[in-house]
Amino acid sequence: MNDIENKFFEKYKELDSLCKDVLNSNQGVTQYICEMEKTSGRGRHYVDSWDYDYKMLKHVRWVRNNIAHGNGSSECSENDIKYVKDFYQRIMQQKDPFSIIYQRQNEIKKRTVKQSEIKPNPYINNRKTTNKNRGYTRLAVGIFIVIIVVLLMIMSRLLGNS
C-alpha cells in the first residue's frame, strides 16, 4: 500500500467504526448504505446531497475493498480521503443524511403539536347560534315590546286624566 492508500484506509476504518456505533450494527458503512437504500423518497427529499452521498459511500467502500483485497493498484485519491473525513465530521455534527431527516421530521412533529395545542379563546363567543336560541331571543324582544306599549298606554291615560 502506498501512503495515500494507508491514509485512506485509516480514515475509512474510523468512519466504518462510527457508522457501526451510530447504527448499532457490525456492518458500518455497508449498513449505512443499506439504510439509505431502504429509505423512502419521502425522507430523501429533505437531503439535497442524498444522491451524491449514496454514490460516494458506495465508491469509497469499493475503494476500500480494492485496497484490502486487490492487487495493489487501487484508484484511491486525495478526494476520496477528503470525502471520508468530511462525512465522518458530518455524522459527528449531525449533518449527515439521516440526522437531517430526523431533524426535519421532528420540526414537522413540533409544528403539528403546536397547532393542535391552540385552544379557542374563552373571551370570544365561539358558539354557533342555533334556531332554538333565535326563538328565545325573538320571544324576549316581543315581550319587551308589549311591556313598553302597555306602559306607554298607561302613562298616556294617566297624563290624559290629569
Tens of pLDDT, residue by residue over 71-89, are 667 789 999 999 999 999 9
Give the predicted TM-score (pTM) of the model: 0.67
The stretches in the chain having pLDDT less than 70 are: 71-72, 114-132, 161-162
Residue 101: per-residue pLDDT: 93
Q: How far apart are CA 76 and CA 62, in angstroms?
A: 10
Residue 8: per-residue pLDDT: 96
Tens of pLDDT, residue by residue over 43-61, are 888 999 999 999 999 999 9
Residue 123: per-residue pLDDT: 59
Residue 154: per-residue pLDDT: 87
